[in-house]
Amino acid sequence: MDYIVILIAAVFVNNIVLSQFLGICPFLGVSNKVSTSIGMSGAVLFVMTIATLATYLLHQFILVPAGLDYLRTITFILVIAALVQMVEIILKKVSPPLYQALGVFLPLITTNCAVLGVAILALGLENGSLLKAVFFAIANSLGFALALIVFASIREHLELANIPKGMKGVPINLLVAGLLSLAFLGFTGLV
């Protein structure tokens, strides 16, 4: 039951992009085509899950016992940066097709604040456990994927629309994101 609540909360109610504002850069940056946004979502799912697994273990078994909790930010970002590089190298060797699909997005993910944000938020879960933290990361990356793919589909249609000159480019995208976020507000109170 707990897990279903986490899933619904992360995907719809507290959507990581549209209501928590994490990962806005890729959300605005790589959302001009549905195909690229699917690739990005896959890469985020992959990295976010592994990163949360690694940082949760690091926090539980090294930082807390050693009383080094204040080093959380520095160690987490380093682990994530190293992990992204490692994933890139391993994917290149082990699975070239997957690397081709996700490769270009991997370096961008290091500075995706959603990954660090979820790793930190996962530490504060109620009755936290490793399994729960990893599940939380998966649920949040699904929320990210949903927001990104819906937004990209809208943007593909926007290209044909007749937009006032001053609103072209960034403003209209922000406005669409705002309306999308308004729609997600309708899920408030679901869990």
Partner 1 sequence: MAEKINQKQNFLKGIVKENPIFVMLLGMCPTLGVTSSAFNGFGMGVATLFVLLMSNMVVSLVKKQIPSKVRIPAFIIIIASFVTIVEMVLEAYVPFLYEQLGIFIPLIVVNCLILGRAEAFASKNGLLASILDALGMGLGFVMALTVLGATREILGSGSLFGLQFVPENANTFILFILPPGAFIALAYLTVLFNKITVKTS
Which CB, 101 or 180, lies closer to partner 1? 180
From the list 34, 54, 77, 149, which residue makes contact with partner 1 (rule: CB under 8 A)?
Answer: 77
How many secondary structure helices (H) and strands (E) does the chain include? 10, 0
Residue 174 near partner 1 by CB under 8 A? yes
Q: How far is the CB of 58 from partner 1 (least distance, A)?
A: 15
CA separation (Å) from 104 to 86, 96, 128, 162? 14, 13, 34, 32
By CB under 8 A, the residues from 39 to 68 that bind partner 1 are: none
Binders of partner 1 among residues 5 to 34 (CB under 8 A) are 18-25, 28
Return the number of the residue (92 or 101) whose C-beta is nearest partner 1.
Answer: 92
Task: Indicate whether 78 belongs to the interface with partner 1 (CB under 8 A).
Answer: yes
Report the C-alpha gap between 152 and 121 in whole angstroms. 27
Distance CA 146, CA 180 (A): 11
Pick 98 or 176: Cβ nearer partner 1: 176
The mark string for 83-122 relative to partner 1 (x by CB under 8 A, - otherwise) is ---------------------------xxxx--xx--xx-
Whether residue 21 contacts residue 181, with contact meaning beta carbons closer than 8 Å, is answered with no
Residue with tokens 């961008």: 108
CB-based contacts of 50: which residues, under 8 Å, 6+ apart? Answer: 83, 87
Q: Are 27 and 147 in contact (CB under 8 A)?
A: yes
Q: Is 191 an interacting residue with respect to partner 1 (CB under 8 A)?
A: no
Which segment (43-51, 53-61, 133-141, 170-178) binds partner 1 by CB under 8 A?
170-178
The count of residues interacting with partner 1 (CB under 8 A) is 41
CB neighbour class for 66 (10 Å; exposed up to 12, middle 13-18, buried from 19): exposed
Q: In angstroms, rounded to a whole number, what is the distance separating the alpha carbons of residues 131 and 5?
A: 15
Residues at the site binding partner 1, with contacts judged by CB under 8 A: 18-25, 28, 70-74, 76-78, 81-82, 110-113, 116-117, 120-121, 166-167, 170-175, 177-179, 181-182, 185
